[in-house]
Structure 1
Amino acid sequence: MNFYILLTSLLLFFMSFPMMTYCQSGTDVSALLTHLFTTEGYNKKVRPLKDQTTAIEIRVDYFLNSVIDFSEQEENLKISGFLSCTWVDEYLKWDNASFSNIHELFIPQDDIWKPDISLRNTFKSFTGLGASYLNVFVTSNGVVEWNPYQVLESTCSVDITFFPFDTQICELKFTAWSYTQSHVDLDVGSKGVQLEEYVENSEWELVQTSARETNTDEAAVFFTLKLKRRPNFYVLNIIVPVIFLSLLDIFVFILPVSSGERASYAITVFLSMAVFLTIIAAALPQNSVTTSLLSVYLMLMISLSTFIVILSIAELRLATRDVNIQPIGKGFMFFIKCSNVITCKVCRKSVAPTRQLSSKVKKRNLPDGSVTWPDIVEAIDIVFFWITMIYTLLTTLIIGVVAVNGGDT
């Protein structure tokens, strides 16, 4: 019972003291703004330092929202996000107790001093950050936070050597255009590039970010994005069909000369190669600084296809010769010897990738007068089938390994 009496007495005792309450109204905020901008005579044209001989320090972070587009042809990176800038404005400080305990204000960005930060390596027009309808956040101790959200388009040098397994490094350079470092000191904040709200791009994977400050007298900060291409689309729609076409080109030597389809088959494969080269050329930037390994591979395959077309036409001519009118020289007999060596090794391993020479040719000791021109053509087919097969496989393997491994660096 005594406990309840004591508790009631204490409550009445504390309630007897006048309680100070703060009710922040629009009038209070208006009075504070009048005090700062009229009474104190705030001038946004003056750097917010009482000692104008020193530099104002501005902490800068970049919050990346998404990679909208990366155009290799135009070497243009388009991203969305906002720059977070924080500094102390010594002319925007006030006493909380004198203004109903107001601790913070939202002020239109064009009403106060702010650094004229802009993207220096912009792709299109050179404009400042933010807009007139955006506000800055100001606290009673003069701390100003400015977060201008904007879609940025910057230039970015493209290295297409390892396309489509390439990795591109793009740098965003923000500068306070009118000031030097002795007036405005832009420093990278503790966060650098923030990815809290980042949305993945379907074509490019963001593998690394970094931020740094300039070591010169220029007031600037750099934010670097390392982007790796997702190659699945190009592998399925370009690389795999090109490899299949390269293999089809080899099988020209399987068709008999008597079929009459060899030249047309070889030319069709050649034209298909040329079409894919045109598609790849349209997807790459038009410069001569770097060359795509995929383009090199296509050129090598087109060169091989050109050689096969020429050889096929020449073989048609050889097959119509008469051995009594045009005797077979020792150079052509070399193909007979090579084909016999190749077919014997292949036969022992029970592999038959090409047409074997006729039994009549295999039984001969191959004197010059016992071989016909169709036999020579058949021997040439066997020799060049294996030469082009080895050439295609080695070229595909070497360029493929270099492109995949080089793109990861």
Structure 2
Amino acid sequence: MCALLIVMVAISLASASTYSEGRNLNKFLLANYSKEILPRLIHTNIMEVNVDFALGSIIDFDGVTGIIFFTGGFVISWKDEQIAETWKQSEFTHLDKTQLSVHDVWIPKIYIKNMADQISIFPFSSYFDSETTYATFDQNGTALIMLITNLKTSCSIDMTYYPFDKHTCEIYLIYSHMYYKLAFNTSRMSANFEHTIPNSEWSFSSSVYRTEFHALPTIVYVLNLSRKPLFLVMNLLFPCMVIGIVNSLSFLIPIESGERLSFGVSLLLTFIVFVTTVLDNLPSTDTFSFFNVLLLVQLIYSSLIVFGIVQSIHYYYQDCKKPVPGKIKRMTKCIMSCNRNNKKSNRVKPGTENSKIDNGFHEENSMKEQGYTGKDVNDKLKARDNNFIEGGNDENRNRSLCEEAITWKDVSRAWDRICNIIACIFSLTMLTMFSSLIFPRLD
């Protein structure tokens, strides 16, 4: 048993690599190595470089500038035939892997064409970061390097269906080796999301395709961003719709309360605030979003509501001496016919027996309370009746002018009814239209 243990320890010590062996291997591999030359035994052969992209997290996406800020990792692999050939000729064939600094070996120089900040995918933020970046090699010469960095790239933005907008962010990977021929490939059909941190505002998917840029092979990773609209629906879209519907009820507020105009102006100012809020989140492009159009229509609609309120108040307090034009009178009769018939049946007109008896009773009680005797009370009531029969003073004449079949207050009520019907129809139509255009985007 002891002999078996001794043999196993001897074998493990023989196969284990020591620090000095690893150092000597690196010196041997780099003795006649030139990082300026393509590491191919025959230079006419094409160097194949494989690049895979893994998304870490989306830090921020600015819909105004179209810049996406995210963390990601690139795994780059290629075949270094010079390292493989030299390793076979060494005495360190029992070693499987080694690491070499990126400053000592040939590294494919890869750029991102649409970067908004840095260009290269090698983000050496400091000297220490640069000196501690290594490429891993095996005996076959396969090199592997992994880079993790923060990237800012430009995207094509589409705010048409905001806040249900979707955007496409493309990452164009190109290389700068004009002297050598490289085959740019990727082993995946999309970006790697296995270790991606979910984003609270955006959901995403990915695809990849190959193309050429100025005769250079290019790999394009496509990130498709879809906004999660629940927050904006609850805090922006839904309040806008509700206020638009409430705006149509402005004409139900009685004019006598004095609150109708202030209510309409308050809603108008509210829509102005909504427009200002949306302008801060939308880009300055020729493409308008449906939501921006909605706010503009709502703003015009609220302005017309205020105009209708002012016109209604103007009719209501119009001088009763001024006659109502014939056309307006006929329209008012047509609109208010049913309602006016009900009012006429319950109205007590001045000058009738019921009104005179009622007024006489109150005046008689009032004069008795003031100390008038019965004869004085009868004389005053008789004089009042004579004035009423003869036409009386200017005040009675003005009252008779105001007692026409159609008054300006009736015109105001008819105007309110027209505006209220139009406002309700407009609100429902607009709500239905934008719901059919926007809400299907939730799918």
- Work out whether 1:151 is the aligned partner of 2:150: yes
Distance 1:55 1:100 in 2: 27
User: What is the number of equivalent residue pairs in this alignment?
Assistant: 373
Q: Displacement, 1:128? A: 4.0
**Per-residue CA distance 1:250-286 (angstroms, 9 max, x = gap):** 111011222222222111110011011111111222x
User: Which residue of 1 is the match for residue 268 of structure 2?
Assistant: 270
Match of 1:193 among 191, 195, 204: 191
User: Which residue of 2 is the match for residue 359 of structure 1?
Assistant: 342
Match of 1:117 among 99, 110, 118: 110
Of 373-382 and 196-205, more deviation after overlay is shown by 373-382
Bigger radius of gyration among the two: 2
Three-state SS of the structure 2 residue aligned to 1:195 is coil
- Work out whether 1:241 is the aligned partner of 2:234: no
**Per-residue CA distance 1:49-99 (angstroms, 9 max, x = gap):** 122223211111111111111111221111111111111011111129821
**Which runs of structure 2 are paired with 1:211-230 in the superposition (5 Å)?**
211-215=208-212, 217-230=215-228
Three-state SS of the structure 1 residue aligned to 2:234 is helix
**Per-residue CA distance 1:312-337 (angstroms, 9 max, x = gap):** 11121112224542323314532542
User: Which residue of 2 is the match for residue 394 of structure 1?
Assistant: 429
Indicate how the Cα distance of structure 1 residues 33 and 327 shifts in structure 2: closer, same or farther if over 3 A, else same.
Answer: same
Three-state SS of the structure 1 residue aligned to 2:430 is helix
Q: Displacement, 1:179? A: 3.3
Indicate how the Cα distance of structure 1 residues 163 and 335 shifts in structure 2: closer, same or farther if over 3 A, else same.
Answer: farther
Instruction: Name structure 2 gaps, 5 residues minimum.
Output: 125-129, 348-403
CA RMSD of aligned residues (A): 2.6
Distance 2:428 2:24 in 1: 81
Distance 1:214 1:263 in 2: 62
Of 224-233 and 131-140, more deviation after overlay is shown by 131-140
Of 315-324 and 262-271, more deviation after overlay is shown by 315-324
The answer to whether the 8 Å contact 2:109/2:176 transfers is yes
Distance 2:64 2:181 in 1: 39
Instruction: Name structure 1 gaps, 5 residues minimum.
Output: 1-7, 345-355
The answer to whether the 8 Å contact 2:189/2:207 transfers is no
Report the AA paired with residue 388 of structure 1: A
Indicate how the Cα distance of structure 1 residues 92 and 233 shifts in structure 2: closer, same or farther if over 3 A, else same.
Answer: same
Three-state SS of the structure 2 residue aligned to 1:291 is coil
Indicate how the Cα distance of structure 1 residues 156 and 50 shifts in structure 2: closer, same or farther if over 3 A, else same.
Answer: same
**Which runs of structure 2 are paired with 1:302-381 in the superposition (5 Å)?**
302-322=299-319, 324-331=321-328, 333-338=330-335, 340=337, 359-360=342-343, 370-381=405-416
Distance 2:226 2:171 in 1: 17
Q: Displacement, 1:124? A: 1.9
Three-state SS of the structure 2 residue aligned to 1:198 is coil
Three-state SS of the structure 2 residue aligned to 1:337 is helix
**Per-residue CA distance 1:6-29 (angstroms, 9 max, x = gap):** xx9xx99xx8xx969323111111
The answer to whether the 8 Å contact 2:328/2:411 transfers is no
Indicate how the Cα distance of structure 1 residues 57 and 373 shifts in structure 2: closer, same or farther if over 3 A, else same.
Answer: same
Distance 2:437 2:229 in 1: 15
Distance 2:319 2:60 in 1: 65
**Which runs of structure 2 are paired with 1:70-149 in the superposition (5 Å)?**
70-93=61-84, 94-95=87-88, 98-99=91-92, 101-131=94-124, 132=130, 133-149=132-148
Distance 1:269 1:252 in 2: 10
Indicate how the Cα distance of structure 1 residues 278 and 218 shifts in structure 2: closer, same or farther if over 3 A, else same.
Answer: same
Distance 1:109 1:87 in 2: 14
Three-state SS of the structure 2 residue aligned to 1:141 is coil
Indicate how the Cα distance of structure 1 residues 305 and 329 shifts in structure 2: closer, same or farther if over 3 A, else same.
Answer: farther
Report the AA paired with residue 86 of structure 1: S
Report the AA paired with residue 140 of structure 1: Q
Q: Displacement, 1:199? A: 1.0
Three-state SS of the structure 2 residue aligned to 1:194 is coil
Report the AA paired with residue 213 of structure 1: R
Three-state SS of the structure 2 residue aligned to 1:210 is strand
Three-state SS of the structure 2 residue aligned to 1:170 is strand
Distance 2:324 2:11 in 1: 124
TM-score (norm 2): 0.78
